[in-house]
Amino acid sequence: MRQVSPLIWLLSLLLAACLVLAVAVVPAGAGGGKTPPLDRVSVQLVWVHQAQFAGFYMAQDQGIYRRYRLKVKIKPGGPGIVPLKNLRMGGCDFAVSWLSSAMVDKSRGAPLVNLAQLVRRSALLLVAFKGKGIEKVKDLDGRKVGMWGGQFSLAPRALFRRLGIHVQEVLQNVSVSPFLAGAVSAAAAMRYSEYHQLYQAGVDPEDLVVFDLSRLGVNFPEDGIYTTQRFWEMAPGVCRRFVRATLEGWRAAFAQPEEALESVMRRVEAARLATNRSHQRWMLGVMREIIAGGAPGEMGRLSARDFALVNRVLMEEGIIGTPVAMRGFAVPAWRSEP
């Protein structure tokens, strides 16, 4: 064995001490002080993956949720999936739902809170072919109108009642076939979906008469973000962060529509959904109008006037007995200041 000089010994010792110190200090600094663990939450969408939820996808794909210290699981909806029911059963922390559905549930005792109203202008339309004697809503009197029933029929029904007309409501699935086949004179259509499906089935816009319910005095706010009273009270910070991150995701989606479209199409293709890129592009364009269409800084606000309108219609239809109070139902988690 060779003799080791005392100088090398000393240097080795010094090096070892430095290493020990470094190992001890680094994890403490990185893990403990700077990044707290992410809050894991889930959100139940109201329908299958599509551009209707592009803001959620952008918040996830662009790291906005992560920035808000959230790890979000986005659950797609579909036929037979009722988001509010899922929320009640504890299947998710947040749910996307139409305002009217949430108000009905609330009046029936479900402890729900509206954290933000995303779609503030209704995208619901009634469409009819031109040249069939339908020029105004009143012309629908006595005719067959394809509708989806439930919450989706509330606004049209309120409109028909206001005009004093009676239509033959034909309950149908989400399909444009009965309308195209002429089985119904008019049909409900979402501007972001069925209306454009008709276009993609070769129907030119100039061949259609379109009744826009949001402009006919029955503007029913649609997609909103909901959670349970309990979760809101327990973790208001998480709720606020989730809502704000989602709104930021929407802003990102509107600012970078092509990236948003990529986020949508990735999910659509993974789920093998029967849709196409141009349809999703159209949908994203409409979402921009109905989510960000109002005054700037109002994104997420639930209009008291529209809330009152839904309350009245629900009462008139006999769906609820007493009106739902806005206080305690709508909590402005979307506001920048708590």
Residues lying near another protein in the complex (CB under 8 A): 144, 149, 170-173, 175-178, 180-184, 199-202, 204, 272-279
Residue partners of 81: CB distance under 8 A and separation at least 6: 44
Instruction: State the maximum Cα–Cα separation within the chain, in Å, rounded to a whole number.
Output: 109
CB 52 within 8 A of CB 285: no
Angle among Cα 87, 287, 39 to the nearest 5 degrees reads: 40
Count of CB atoms situated within 10 Å of the CB of 126: 25
Q: Which is nearer to another protein, 144 or 288 (CB)?
A: 144
Q: Which two tokens stand for residue 17?
A: 């001490």
CA–CA separation, 72 and 249 (whole Å): 13
Q: Which is nearer to another protein, 208 or 235 (CB)?
A: 208
Shortest separation between residue 133's beta carbon and another protein, angstroms: 18
Q: Which is nearer to another protein, 206 or 337 (CB)?
A: 206
Q: Which is nearer to another protein, 207 or 298 (CB)?
A: 207
Q: Which is nearer to another protein, 240 or 279 (CB)?
A: 279
Shortest separation between residue 47's beta carbon and another protein, angstroms: 17
Taking each helix axis from N to C end, the angle separating 277-292 and 236-255, rounded to the nearest 10 degrees, works out to 120
Q: Which is nearer to another protein, 75 or 277 (CB)?
A: 277
- 43-52: b or e for each residue (b if 16 or more CB lie within 10 Å)? bbbbbbbbbb
Residue whose token pair is 């009634």: 126
Q: Which is nearer to another protein, 183 or 304 (CB)?
A: 183
CA of residue 23 relative to chain centroid, distance: 46
Shortest separation between residue 309's beta carbon and another protein, angstroms: 27
255 φ, ψ (degrees, to nearest 5): -75, -35
Shortest separation between residue 233's beta carbon and another protein, angstroms: 38
Shortest separation between residue 167's beta carbon and another protein, angstroms: 14
Shortest separation between residue 188's beta carbon and another protein, angstroms: 12
* β partners of residue 224: 97, 117
Count of CB atoms situated within 10 Å of the CB of 207: 11
Shortest separation between residue 191's beta carbon and another protein, angstroms: 16
